[in-house]
Amino acid sequence: MTNNNNPIDVFLAQPRGFCAGVDRAIAIVEEALRIHGAPVYVRHEIVHNKRVISMLEDKGAIFVEEVEDIPDGAITIFSAHGISSKVENDAIARSLPVIDATCPLVSKVHAEGRKHTENGCEVILIGHKGHPEVEGTMGRINGTVYLVSNVTDAKTIMVENPNKLAYVTQTTLSVDDTRDIILELERRFPKITGPNVKDICYATQNRQSAVRELTQHVDLLIVLGASNSSNSNRLKEIGVELGVPSYLIDEADQMEPSWLNGVSKIGITAGASAPEELVEELIENLRAIREINLKTFGDTIEDVIFKLPKELTELSSQTQKIL
């Protein structure tokens, strides 16, 4: 039995936390506030994290559920998850000045889906029902779109033309998440076509791969992320599937000291919408309970950067010239 007074080895998964799409979305709101001043209005949470939302609210961002909640003429920002054509058209009808913070990888899925329907195919979207990205994607593709969330759906779904069929996937699902679903779809519909593996979200795959390796070396996994974050929940689920006690927490103070009983090695990771300050706070809370040895686990370096939309970069350049 592990002595509860002995130091604990704490392994920080690499990579973890913010991805390029989240960095870009937050930067869009901050830059819009800098250029236009407060308030700016954001439809839905810009990303799924309470700390991030609170920080942006303090700076002057106002988060609303629908376009109709935005005052006439107000700067309007769409979240990183993407929006349907109807939402976009509602904003256009009201002549709202819109800045689109949709993750470029999500926009790529939208484009692929539209291309398939333009070529006469029906589209299967592999994703989680009710997720904002899924709702946006289904509302972006003109034509027939079927939602498949699991292998059971793949086994039972009925399509009109099996010979003209394609699939796309929610970006926060990894190759591992979709493998069995795709295999079943390919078994039932041999002529189905889909995206190249390289088109999946790099951040989702990297974070899941890191956790799969990390769980081989720890007694406990703690994931920092929001309960409504698809990718954060999946990181916790991977730990559970691999037989490691795993917890998903929004804030560092949600950690229970009892989780450390009998534990000598802890793994920590963070979902793609969770700021690094949450990890730092958790480390400090651990130090208050036990002596820890802090280590980094994994060597994958992410250097992806997504550019800000031209609506902001052009205005930013003009502002700098005036100054």
Backbone angles phi, psi at 309, to 5 degrees: -65, 150
Which of these ranges, 96-110, 187-201, 295-309, has the smallest mean pLDDT? Answer: 187-201
Quote the pLDDT of residue 323: 42
Task: Assess whether pLDDT exceeds 70 at residue 1.
Answer: no
Which fold is adopted by the domain 20-102?
Answer: Rossmann fold (3.40.50)
SS3 323: coil
> How far is Cα 184 from Cα 126, in angstroms, rounded to an integer?
12
Architecture in CATH for domain 105-199: 3-Layer(aba) Sandwich (3.40)
Q: How confident is the model at residue 70 (pLDDT cuts 50, 70, 90)?
A: very high
pLDDT in tens, 203-262: 999 999 999 999 999 999 999 999 999 999 999 999 999 999 999 999 999 999 999 999
3-40: per-residue pLDDT in tens? 567 899 999 999 999 999 999 999 999 999 999 999 99
The count of C-alpha atoms lying within 13 angstroms of the C-alpha of 125, restricted to the half-sphere facing its C-beta, is 30
* Percent of the chain predicted with pLDDT > 70: 95
Quote the CA–CA distance of 175 and 156 in Å, as a whole number. 22
Per CATH, 20-102 and 105-199 having the same topology is answered no
| pLDDT at residue 322, as a whole number | 43
> Nearest-CA neighbor of 307 among 76, 35, 107, 104?
104
Q: What is the pLDDT of residue 180?
A: 96
Distance CA 42, CA 59 (A): 13
Rounded to 5 degrees, φ, ψ at 197 are -55, -35
The per-residue pLDDT for 321 is 44
% of the chain residues with pLDDT over 90: 89
Q: If you average pLDDT over every residue of the chain, what do you get?
A: 94
State the pLDDT confidence band at 313, using cuts at 50, 70 and 90: confident
Q: Examine the pLDDT at 315 and tell me if it is beyond 80.
A: no
Is residue 267 scored above 60 in pLDDT?
yes
**Is the CB of residue 323 less than 8 Å from the CB of residue 39?**
no
Residues 110-121: what's their mean pLDDT?
96
- What are the residue ranges of helices labelled H in the chain? 20-36, 50-59, 85-93, 104-118, 132-138, 151-156, 175-188, 202-214, 230-241, 276-289, 310-322
Kindly report, residue by residue over 177-195, the tens digit of the pLDDT.
Answer: 999 999 999 999 999 999 9
Question: What are the helix and strand counts (H, E) for the chain?
Answer: 11, 12
Could you tell me the fold of the domain covering 8-18+202-297? Answer: Cobalt-precorrin-4 Transmethylase; domain 1 (3.40.1010)
Q: Is the pLDDT of residue 2 over 60?
A: no
Each domain of the chain, given as residue ranges in start order, spans 8-18+202-297, 20-102, 105-199
DSSP 117-156: HHTT-EEEEES-TT-HHHHHHHTTS-S-EEEE-SHHHHHH
Asked about 133 being catalytic, the answer comes back as: yes
Contact 308, 28 (CB under 8 A): yes
Task: Report the distance separating Cα 96 and Cα 43, nearest Å.
Answer: 12
Flag whether pLDDT at 319 surpasses 70. no
Give yes or no for a contact between 54 and 109, defined as CB atoms under 8 angstroms apart: no
**Two tokens, residue 106:** 């999500």
Helix 20-36 vs helix 310-322: crossing angle, to nearest 10: 40
Q: How far apart are CA 238 and CA 209, in angstroms?
A: 10
pLDDT at 62: 98
* Amino acid 148: pLDDT: 98
Q: Which of 45, 112, 122, 133 is catalytic?
A: 133
